Amino acid sequence: MKKLALHWKILLGMAMGILVAILLIQFPFGKLFALNWIKPFGNIFINALKVIAVPLILASLIKGVTDLKDISKLSKMGFKTIGLYLITTVIAVSIGLVMVNILQPGDFLEQSTKQELLKNFESEAQSKIEMAESQKSQSPLKAIEDIVPSNIVKAASDNGNMLQVIFFAILMGIGLILIPQEKAKPLIDFFDSLNELILKIIDLIMKVAPFGVFALMTALVVESPSVDLFKALGIYALTVILGLAVIMLFYFFLVYVFTKKTPKFFINGMLPAQLLAFSTSSSAATLPVTMERVEEHLGVDEEVASFVLPIGATVNMDGTSLYQAVAAVFIAQAFGMELSLYTQLGIIATATLASIGSAAVPGAGMVMLVIVLAQAGIPEAGLALIFAIDRPLDMFRTTINVTGDAVVAMIIAKSEGLLHEPKKES
Ligand code: ASP
Tens digit of each residue's pLDDT, the chain (426 residues): 467 888 899 999 999 999 999 999 999 999 999 999 999 999 999 999 888 888 988 888 898 888 877 888 888 999 999 999 999 999 999 999 999 999 999 888 888 878 888 887 888 888 788 777 766 666 667 777 888 999 988 888 876 678 888 899 999 999 999 999 999 999 999 998 998 898 899 889 989 999 999 999 999 888 877 666 677 788 999 999 999 999 999 999 999 999 999 999 999 999 999 999 999 999 999 999 999 999 999 999 988 998 999 999 989 999 999 999 999 999 999 888 889 999 999 999 999 998 888 888 888 899 889 989 988 999 888 888 898 889 899 999 999 999 999 999 999 999 999 999 987 765
For residue 399 and ligand 1, the question of a CB distance below 6 A is answered with no
Residue from 315, 316, 320 whose mutation best tests the ligand 1 pocket (most atoms within 8 A of CB): 320
Task: Work out the burial of residue 28: count CB atoms within 10 Å of its CB; fewer than 13 is exposed, 13-18 middle, 19 or more buried.
Answer: exposed
Cβ–ligand 1 contact at 397 (below 6 Å):
yes
Q: Is residue 50 lining ligand 1, measured as CB closer than 6 Å? A: no
What is the 26 CA–ligand 1 centroid distance (Å)? 31
Domain segments of the chain as ranges:
6-415
CA distances from 396 to 49, 124, 247, 359 (A): 19, 21, 12, 16
- C-alpha–C-alpha distance, residues 322 and 320, integer Å: 5
CA–CA distances in Å: residue 60 to residues 75, 114, 246, 254, 400: 17, 48, 32, 26, 23
CA distance 60 to 191: 7
Distance 147 CA to ligand 1 centre (A): 19
Q: Does domain 6-415 have CATH number 1.10.357?
A: no
Q: Please report which helix (H) or strand (E) contains residue 173, including its range.
A: helix 162-178
Instruction: State residue 300 phi and psi, 5-degree precision.
Output: -80, 130
Q: What is the position in ligand 1's atom list of the atom closest to the CA of 401? A: 9
**Probe residue for ligand 1, chosen from 220, 240, 276, 282 as the CB with the greatest number of ligand atoms within 8 Å:** 282
Question: Is there a contact between 400 and 319 (Cβ–Cβ < 8 Å)?
Answer: yes
Using CA atoms, how far apart are residues 296 and 306, in angstroms rounded to an integer? Answer: 12
Helices (H), 224-262: 227-232, 234-259
Whether 362 is in the pocket of ligand 1, judged by its Cβ within 6 Å, is yes
Report the sign of the C-alpha dihedral through residues 397, 398, 399, 402, in that order. Answer: positive
- What gap in Å lies between CA 63 and CA 190, rounded to an integer? 9
Which three-class secondary structure state does DSSP give residue 419? strand
Which stretches of 335-389 are DSSP H helices? 341-357, 364-376, 383-386
